[in-house]
């Protein structure tokens, strides 16, 4: 049995997220269908994790198994020829048979882009924020959620995930000329977690004691306590580490 790992980039604007679902177009479905056309068989494509509606990826990882041996260069070329221009296979490699893109992932990282001015070239890939953000204060506040916590308050209410404990290894903000970039790396993420963290941290800027405000949100384990999630258009799955 051969086990192939793909590294995928996609523009999530036109998709209802990564995962296959009824009555909606997903990235996973598009790639699975393309593989079936080439191999003449249906495979199970396992992603490193889900991305929500409208969310993009710079380095999504996935794997599938088949009895067939493929020419890596040719297969990658064929896949990219079939897939639409908003999905690209940037790398293809054969892994050990036991490799699983989801369960073997050690760390995942995301980027969130906030545009500081109106521009037609960034509106699909960033959140236009009209206010001024204090980057130094945002970095100080972000330290509160570093480490291992129960992130129930930052996850969607309707989720099948029972264990909501995640370990955040790195989190920071950076100000560039046109954009503000948020980076976060953790062992795992819950549905809607990154976008809710970004929105809540921005809210914390206007609170007199932002650190205490964030700690109380974590402790209450109630989604109603956290801030509104920022739009999905600015979120990118950046990298998956194994």
> Per-residue pLDDT tens for 80-137?
999 999 999 999 999 999 999 999 999 999 999 999 988 888 889 999 998 889 999 9
The CATH number that applies at residue 113 is: 3.30.70.660
In the chain, what percentage of residues exceed pLDDT 90? 89
Q: Measure the CA–CA gap between 68 and 16, rounded to whole angstroms.
A: 31
pLDDT at 160: 67
Give the C-alpha separation, 51 to 232, whole Å.
9
Catalytically annotated residue among 52, 71, 175, 203? 52
Among the ranges given (48-62, 158-172, 205-219), the one the predictor scored with the smallest mean pLDDT: 158-172
The reported pLDDT for the residue numbered 178 is 87
Quick one: which of 70, 63, 123 has its CA closest to 96?
63
Cα 142 from Cα 156, distance rounded (Å): 20
* Spatial distance between the Cα atoms of 135 and 228, rounded to a whole number of angstroms: 19
Q: Which range, of 62-66, 100-104, 117-121, 141-145, averages the lowest pLDDT?
A: 117-121
Considering the domain architecture, whether residues 175 and 74 belong to the same structural domain is answered as no
pLDDT at 158: 72
Query: Residue 211 corresponds to which tokens in the numbers above?
Result: 């650190």
pLDDT, residue 131, reads: 87
Residue 65 has pLDDT above 90, yes or no: yes
Domain identity same for 90 and 29: yes
Residues 6 or more apart from 194 whose CB is under 8 A from it?
110, 112, 184, 235
Domain that holds residue 175: 107-241
Listed residues 70, 95, 120: the one ending a domain: 95
pLDDT of residue 127: 95
- What's the angle, vertex CA 34, arms to CA 30 and CA 38, rounded to 5? 170
Which stretches of the chain are assigned E, i.e. beta strand?
2-10, 46-47, 56-66, 87-95, 107-115, 127-128, 147-150, 165-175, 179-186, 235-241
52 is an active site residue: yes
């Amino acid at each position: 049995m051969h086990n192939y790992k793909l590294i995928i980039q996609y523009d999530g604007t036109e998709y209802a997220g990564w995962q296959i679902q009824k009555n909606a177009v997903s990235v996973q479905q598009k790639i699975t269908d393309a593989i079936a056309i080439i191999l003449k068989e249906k495979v199970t494509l396992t992603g490193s994790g889900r991305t929500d509606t409208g969310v993009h990826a710079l380095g999504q990882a996935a794997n599938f198994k088949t009895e067939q041996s493929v020419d890596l260069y040719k297969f990658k070329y064929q896949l990219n020829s079939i897939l639409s221009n908003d999905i690209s296979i940037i790398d293809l490699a054969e892994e050990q048979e036991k490799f699983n893109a989801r369960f073997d992932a050690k760390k995942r990282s995301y980027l969130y882009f906030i545009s500081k001015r109106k521009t037609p070239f960034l509106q699909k890939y960033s959140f236009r924020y009209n206010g001024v953000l204090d980057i130094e204060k945002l970095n100080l506040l972000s330290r509160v959620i570093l480490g291992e916590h129960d992130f129930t308050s930052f996850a969607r209410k309707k989720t099948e995930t029972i264990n909501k404990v995640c370990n955040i290894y790195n989190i920071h903000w950076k100000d560039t000329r046109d954009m503000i970039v948020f980076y976060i790396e953790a062992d795992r993420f819950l549905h809607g977690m990154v976008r809710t963290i970004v929105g809540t941290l921005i809210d914390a800027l206007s609170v007199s004691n932002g650190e205490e405000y964030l700690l109380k949100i974590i402790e209450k384990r109630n989604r109603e306590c956290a801030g509104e999630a920022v739009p999905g258009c600015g979120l990118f799955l950046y990298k998956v580490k194994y």
